[in-house]
């Protein structure tokens, strides 16, 4: 046995690779804005070298960020191996808006950055430091990490490695990087063959583990079987075609919206529902009006949103990889009033919780561990045709965070677009704000700012319907 080292990708991690197309790139992205603070250089710019040193000082805590993909011969399965030629300068990049740069220019630049695929010959992440914003007292950082590396919850954990609760001023000393030997093609093939032959035994161990974790095994198996059956039934009833669905082009638009989190919670309390119910009802109202603007009768279509659900246990906090499932939510675009839409959403989500619907996707991923990559690819492509949009909501810290003394003002997330999906919505709560990030295909949604405005209006109308007075959108810089 050699001393080589590598990590196998799970079927769910691999699904984000095989589901990627030339126009649908599976990276999780975001744009964060900061006060420059002590990172100001004598020339009035941002101390990029200090930021680069800060990233280098924490990389040893995230080994995946210095690993790249390798492929098993014949089986064509991906594995992670240490990148012996790792070059931090490729991943941490420095650019600037034409001074004085405005938020519209930042959004356009972010859209162009996110439209480009990650290089699969290198570790699958990038960080862009963007200066020249406004009067020079703020800067932005745009990040891209492939979805095969992280999900939303683990992405928040990674952010914490670069951020701190106190304004620490100096980066940590870097730990020397010594890449582990990578296996040869023949070694990978041999190990994969051994792994395939051991799958029946692994299945038995998995069954015994499930038996140990549950008090009523028969009931647990029944719940999971029903969840999987419901998912298959749903796949046989695809959503309607809409103006935001169609073949994707190579370009993207990006926009965002910020509302006070206290306002959202006030609506939640008044309506006796969850924050996510408020988000989905707000989106339903906005999509209803947007369909009418695009000459589509909202009462005549079935509009389905994929709402990712974390399956990560407490002991998995901080680990990389994906532990995520999804609810398929039929948004009630046919309901005329905000109260009716929220009531319908609340009933739908309660039913999804009671039926353990999220277990259906998890069971599919377990089955996929036995599935050849070509079938996994077909399944990933089919998944995109079962939903009109993605609405994902990730909770973040409710206190200010700092990077080398620079206070983070805001962070706007971006979800990846699936093939045939022209608009996705990602939300991230931070320091009393609920931030909406909208990513769209450049041609399918040429009026993304209209979507942004409709979401804001829908939230204000929803709040008013439940007797809650809200402030509406907040300023981007606080």
Classified as helix, coil or strand, 61 is helix
Structural contact between residues 434 and 259, judged by C-beta atoms closer than 8 angstroms: yes
Structural contact between residues 161 and 58, judged by C-beta atoms closer than 8 angstroms: yes
Classified as helix, coil or strand, 308 is strand
Residue 85: which residues within 8 A CB-CB, separation 6 or more?
none
Structural contact between residues 394 and 426, judged by C-beta atoms closer than 8 angstroms: yes
Classified as helix, coil or strand, 418 is coil
Residue 195, burial from CB neighbour count under 10 angstroms (0-12, 13-18, 19+): middle
Active site residue 60: no
CA distances from 89 to 52, 53, 60, 130, 304 (A): 8, 11, 16, 15, 41
Continuous H helices in 177-274: 185-197, 199-213, 217-235, 261-271
Structural contact between residues 405 and 438, judged by C-beta atoms closer than 8 angstroms: no
Across the beta sheet with 324-331, what order do the strands follow? 252-260, 433-441, 423-430, 389-394, 303-310, 324-331
Alpha-carbon gap, residue 36 to 130, rounded angstroms: 11
Question: Active-site residue among 146, 147, 160, 172?
Answer: 147
Beta bridge partners of 308: 326
H or E element that contains 331: strand 324-331
Q: What would you report as the CA-atom Rg of the chain, rounded to the nearest whole angstrom?
A: 23
Structural contact between residues 473 and 258, judged by C-beta atoms closer than 8 angstroms: yes
Instruction: Find how far residue 243's CA is from the centre of its chain.
Output: 23
For 449, which DSSP code? H
For 117, which DSSP code? P
Residue 258: which residues within 8 A CB-CB, separation 6 or more?
410, 433, 434, 435, 436, 473, 474, 475, 476
Nearest CA-CA partner of 80 in 123, 118, 119? 123
Alpha-carbon gap, residue 57 to 68, rounded angstroms: 20
Structural contact between residues 388 and 239, judged by C-beta atoms closer than 8 angstroms: yes
Residue 5, burial from CB neighbour count under 10 angstroms (0-12, 13-18, 19+): middle
User: Which residues participate in catalysis according to the annotation?
Assistant: 147
């Amino acid at each position: 046995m050699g001393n080589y080292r590598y990590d196998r990708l799970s079927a769910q991690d691999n699904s984000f690779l095989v589901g990627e197309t030339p126009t649908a790139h599976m990276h999780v992205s975001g744009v964060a804005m900061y006060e420059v603070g002590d990172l100001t250089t004598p020339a009035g710019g941002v101390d990029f070298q200090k930021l680069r040193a800060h990233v280098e000082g924490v990389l040893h805590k995230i080994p995946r960020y210095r690993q790249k993909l390798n492929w098993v011969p014949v089986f064509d399965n991906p594995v992670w191996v240490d990148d012996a030629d790792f070059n931090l300068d490729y991943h941490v990049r420095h650019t600037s808006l034409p001074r004085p740069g405005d938020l519209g220019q930042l959004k356009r630049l972010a859209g162009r950055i996110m439209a480009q695929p990650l290089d699969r010959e290198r570790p699958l992440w990038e960080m862009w430091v963007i200066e020249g914003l406004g009067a020079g007292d703020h800067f932005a950082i745009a990040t891209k990490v492939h979805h095969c590396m992280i999900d939303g919850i683990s992405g928040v954990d990674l952010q914490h490695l670069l951020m701190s609760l106190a304004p620490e001023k100096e980066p940590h000393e870097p730990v020397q990087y010594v890449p582990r030997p990578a296996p040869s093609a023949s070694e990978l093939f041999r190990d994969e063959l051994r792994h395939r032959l051991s799958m029946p035994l692994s299945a038995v161990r998995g069954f015994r583990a499930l038996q140990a974790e549950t008090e009523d095994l028969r009931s647990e198996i029944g719940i999971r079987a029903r969840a999987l059956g419901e998912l298959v039934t749903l796949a046989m009833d695809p959503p309607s075609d809409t103006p935001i669905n169609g073949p994707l082009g190579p370009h993207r638009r990006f926009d965002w919206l910020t509302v006070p989190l206290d306002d959202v919670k006030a609506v939640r309390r008044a309506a006796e529902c969850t924050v996510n119910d408020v988000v989905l009802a707000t989106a339903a109202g906005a999509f209803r009006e947007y369909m009418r603007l695009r000459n589509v009768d909202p009462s005549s279509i079935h509009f389905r949103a994929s709402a990712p659900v974390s399956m990560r246990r407490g002991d998995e906090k901080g680990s990389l990889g994906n532990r995520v499932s999804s609810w398929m939510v039929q948004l009630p675009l046919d309901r005329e009033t905000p109260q009716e839409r929220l009531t319908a959403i609340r009933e739908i989500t309660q039913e999804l919780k009671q039926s353990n619907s999220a277990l259906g996707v998890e069971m599919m991923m377990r089955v996929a561990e036995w599935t050849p990559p070509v079938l996994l690819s077909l399944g990933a492509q089919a998944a995109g045709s079962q939903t009109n949009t993605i609405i994902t909501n990730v909770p973040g810290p409710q206190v200010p965070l700092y990077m080398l003394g620079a206070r983070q003002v805001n962070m706007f997330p971006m979800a990846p677009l699936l093939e045939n999906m022209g608009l996705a919505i990602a939300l991230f709560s931070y320091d009393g704000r609920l931030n909406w990030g909208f990513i769209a295909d450049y041609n399918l949604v040429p009026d993304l700012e209209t979507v942004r405005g409709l979401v804001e209006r829908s939230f204000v109308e929803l709040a008013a319907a439940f007797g809650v007075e809200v402030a509406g959108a907040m300023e981007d810089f606080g």
